[in-house]
Amino acid sequence: MYASPVNVGSGTTRTAHGMMPVPAPATAEILKGIPCYASGPSFELATPTGAVLLRTLSAGFNPLPLFASDTLGVGAGGADPEGWPNVLRIMIGEAYQEMQSETITVIETNIDDMNPQVYEYVMEMLFNHGALDVFLTPVIMKKSRPGTLLSVLCGHGSRKELIDVILRETTSIGLRFYEAGRVTMHRKVDQIRTPYGKVRSRSLHSEAAFPVACLNMQTAEGWPSMQKFRWQRS
């Protein structure tokens, strides 16, 4: 089961301890690490009970993925805020296995004063702490100084840890992060036998990843790389 980011509402709500800002303290604690936003009427839209159900049952919090629904369920709450439907909707269906959509976090920082030999170590540290991808882009910064844009893709749960790694292990004194949508093709990792030995390959509609595995084979030393490509295409 997957859920959309949680709309917590806004304003205040009455609790056993008096009036509290929305989200209530218990709700805010339960929703730690889950993407939330505030929209609509001045009304509590996410309760502690609802937050517990979402955290327990949901495998992720993303926009509506690519899938075909066959069953819809709608439930209405007792409250009726003006101009806002107090309704929860559940959609059941089958996801298209070829592609998967999700929301990720992009962390970026511009660096122009660090020894470039350090980047390999930093990238390894970031991957070890949960980064989905790390890449470097050459940029021209103020006063026409050449610099490097360090970009990290990650899930919501590992954002804080990765930010700590960047600020601790690089010369950066600040960074930015934002959410982005991502679509990935369904893939699996296989071992394929070749005339040059076993290679690790990803099974996709496209086999673009396979030639890289061919080039990395340690058992095929001395064979021209183009010969490996020709075998892969045959």
DSSP string spanning 122-166?
A: HHHHHHHTT-SEEEEEEEE-GGG-EEEEEEEEE-GGGHHHHHHHH
pTM over 0.75: no
Q: Residue 29's CB: how many other CB atoms inside 10 A? A: 11
Give the pair of three-digit tokens for residue 121.
């170590």
Buried/exposed 63-90: b ≥16 CB within 10 Å, e otherwise: eeeebeeeeeeeeeeeeeeeeeeeeeee
| Beta sheet of 133-140, edge-to-edge order | 133-140, 146-154, 99-111, 176-185
**Tens-level pLDDT at each residue, the chain (234 residues):** 788 889 998 888 888 788 888 898 999 999 998 889 998 888 888 889 999 999 998 878 877 767 778 899 998 888 888 888 888 888 888 776 666 777 899 999 999 999 999 999 999 999 999 999 999 999 999 889 999 999 999 988 899 999 999 999 999 999 999 998 887 776 666 777 777 667 666 665 544 444 455 555 544 455 555 555 555 545
Tens of pLDDT, residues 170-220: 999 999 999 988 877 766 667 777 776 676 666 655 444 444 555 555 444
The per-residue pLDDT for 68 is: 79
Q: Where are the alpha helices (DSSP H) in 47-148?
A: 48-57, 119-128
